[in-house]
Chains A and B, each alone.
Chain A
Amino acid sequence: MNKNPEAIFDSLYLSKTLQENLGDFARSEIHLFSYLACLLSLYDGHPISFWGYSYIKNEYGSPFSFEIEEAIKTSESQRFLSKNDDKYLIITESGLEILNHLTNHAVFSDRLLYLNVAITSITLLPFGMVKESVSNEPVLNSAQNHDKRRNLIDENNVAMNLLYDHFRILKLALSDKYNDITVPALVWINKLFESRKNHNPYVH
């Protein structure tokens, strides 16, 4: 598979920011937060093609991108990422250096907003809440009933209509008052969690 520049940048950027928040990170967490960032770019009006790579649902019902996986493997082989004693990943000094270099490229600047908002969500909300909310968003949720591996973010996926419905309602409620996409992102995550099987296991 050809290396995807966006996936390389995203995986390194998420590595750094996940590490700042969680201390270390799992591969699946890079896939998850890149997926959330991709959804936020759609909320912001970008076309599907803007993100530059795609996702399927893996056997555990989580979002998975072959391009992100390839990028992580490359980063491991280049020693930009290494494993700690818990077998979780950490970003190395050389990983931070290369990320620093990539961050200066204007080509990635438009996606930084969405990556940052995705990570902001786990700073301001419990990690498990964000994880659960993403698995309850309409596209991934509808994919739980399909075994076949197919692109999640695809115009031909009927569940995308539900996703865009969510975004339409969110914009209707919030766009007049809040310019910062962080607010609708946090509201969406809260609402998805609240509606998760009609209960909230945290708040009783």
Chain B
Amino acid sequence: MFTENDLGSLISIAEQLVYSRITSDYGEKAKNDLLLLFRTLKSINKYISIDRIEKLVVAIRLSNLVGDYSNIKYKGEKIVDPSVLISHDFTIASIIIERPSEIYLIKQELLDVEKERQFSIVYSYDSGFEKILGKDNETPLQQFEGIPSFFAVPTFKKLENALEYYNIRKARKSDCEFIKKAWFDENRILFKSKPEKHLRRSLHDFLDITLRDAEVREEQNIDDSQPIDIKVSWNYASHIALIEIKWLGKSVDGEGKKFTSQYYDKRALNGSQQLADYLELDKKVNYKKRSIGYLVVFDARRRNTKTSTRSISQEEGLYYSDMDIIYSPNHASTRKDFAQPLRFFIEPICEQEQC
């Protein structure tokens, strides 16, 4: 619900929009140039790993230029489209977009941004920090934890791909505000009591935002007993996904003096059985759609920890990182509706890293 109290924040959002700043700098005719720049940047991010680059400048020459600027020619290699970038190796580069569809790549050299912005809209990437520069304004772009660029926010058609990305980019280093909330200590050794709500929220929100053509809901009841953690439904599809979440490791009370839970392999095995039971129950109540079960285990096991442990060596902290759970019974091998269980190992910050 908006009220008059929101007026200030609405004005503030408008003033900070790249769109309003660029049209303020160059007029509304620059709108199409900005859109082409953004589309090209999304395309570039499909073909280069921007987090492996130190600096990148991408400039689009304004299409309504008049006067001296229109004769400026660029050196550089003309490329057919951004897909060609996949075969190029560079740590520093400039890319120039000229309408209608000419793209030039200059490797190991940066354009003079101050000069360029007089007749171009300029994107600048410098060690993870992104901004858009107009003639007079520059606008930093939102940074998303675990995602290397504003233009690389992923979308997924397949749940499996989304879960894999989440594991690597979000869970492994706790690159998510909700996973961060689950930790008792800053070195990610012990959870707070009942971390499951934060872990569930983290995965739910990620899937909700990134899955295309899907509806993602938290805590969906199959019957009047325990709910399934996350349910994913696809429009026009004949199946749904039921995701059961478990965590392994230790949680402590608010003062860090007493363990509130200590979960090891058995907890994952319980989750596996629980999911199989859900699926059986679901068969009886859900005639319309076929359900596939996914067990997601957030693994925060560390070796030799006490309630007082606040730092950990690599050996102890990563002891379980490659130690998979052996499931018995292995529902994934005997049931077609049970996907291979997923284990997301959440790394601690180990002593060596701190040094």
- Name A's B-contacting residues (CB within 8 A): 20-22, 26-29, 58, 60-62, 86, 88, 120, 123-124, 126-129, 131-132, 138, 162, 165-166, 169-170, 172-174, 177-178, 180, 182-184, 186-187, 190-191, 199, 201-204
Contact = CB atoms under 8 A, between A and B. Distances in A.
Interface string B134-162: 00000000111101001001010100000
B9 interface: yes
Contact of A203 (B143, B180, B212, B233): B143
Contacts of A27: 213, 235-236
A161 to B, nearest CB: 11
A178 B20 contact: yes
A182 B31 contact: yes
B213 to A, nearest CB: 4
Contact of B19 (A62, A124, A131, A172): A124
Q: Is chain A's interface secondary structure helix, strand, loop, or mixed overall?
A: helix
A187 B1 contact: no
Contacts of A172: 4, 7
Contacts of B3: 169
Contacts, number: 123
B355 interface: no
B35 interface: yes
A180 B155 contact: no
A21 B46 CA distance: 13
Contacts of B9: 191
B13 interface: yes
B10 A123 contact: no
Contact of A169 (B6, B18, B34, B157): B6
A62 B216 CA distance: 11
A169 B4 CA distance: 6
Contacts of A86: 157
Nearest to B4: A169
Contact of A183 (B20, B209, B212, B213): B20
B142 A180 contact: no
A19 to B, nearest CB: 12
Contact of B209 (A20, A123, A180, A202): A202
Given A124-B19, A173-B7, A187 B13 contact: yes
